[in-house]
Amino acid sequence: MGEGQPGAERITSAPIRSFVLRQGRMTPAQTRAFDTLFGRYGIPYTGTALDASAAFGRAAPLVFEIGSGMGETTFEIARVHPETNYLAAEVHLPGVGALLKRVEEAGLTNLRVIRHDAMEVLAHMIPDNTLAALHLFFPDPWPKKRHHKRRIVQPGFAALAARKLAPGGILHAATDWSEYAEWMLDVLRAEPLLENTAAGYAERPDARPLTKFERRGLGLGHPVHDLLFRRRA
């Protein structure tokens, strides 16, 4: 794809509901973790600006993750970088329970979880110009053309993400769906407040650990693309 504006027939800026809520079956441990630990490590959705320093009990750079899944990557990144505050948004209860369990077992103090639509959290609870980074790892690619409007990466998302990032902050996205990677590249390149840190796709940073899912995909020959865009000053 070229550097120019993406074609209107491919990309929409309409409001996005990029996930299908599948509750899934929670294990007893996940249920127990959610019931007993959300009050300690969870943040309720309020629709009003979050005071991150109060929520974490300290002032530190803040990283927001959209869709933390089962929390494996989220947990590992937070564990390795205790100097940074991490806020993860996830709608699926089993994933939230699993992540809370990991946080408690490791005694992490720099990770909090919101169980809510991440786009609403980003729009209404994250103040502008505050994020050190925004993580979007392996979002649903919605591969069928008629479903492309449900992809989370759209011009409206790029503009919102850029506004929430502090100058110099990084939007880090990753996908194992090559066509979606091209789509992401087009959309993010078209956002004036963002600049690509690479000529195209970036090398996977050491800060993003490989997941079991990713290793399996790589073993099957599925390429993984990382995109690292910086908020302009």
Q: Give residue-wise pLDDT tens across range 46-71.
A: 999 999 999 999 999 999 999 999 99
Residue ranges of domains in the chain: 28-41+52-231
Residue 220: the pLDDT is 84
Q: Give residue-wise pLDDT tens across range 122-178.
A: 999 999 999 999 999 999 999 999 999 999 999 999 999 999 999 999 999 999 999
Listed range (8-12, 103-107, 131-135, 211-215) with the worst mean pLDDT = 8-12
Over residues 86-93, mean pLDDT:
97
Point out the catalytic residue in the list 35, 128, 140, 226.
Answer: 140
- Burial (CB < 10 A; 0-12, 13-18, 19+), residue 105, is exposed
Global model pTM greater than 0.85: yes
Q: Give, in words, the CATH class of 28-41+52-231.
A: alpha beta
Confidence band, pLDDT 50/70/90 cuts, at residue 24: low
Q: Is 140 a catalytic residue?
A: yes
**Nearest Cα to Cα of residue 165 among 211, 116, 127:** 127
Residue 13: the pLDDT is 40
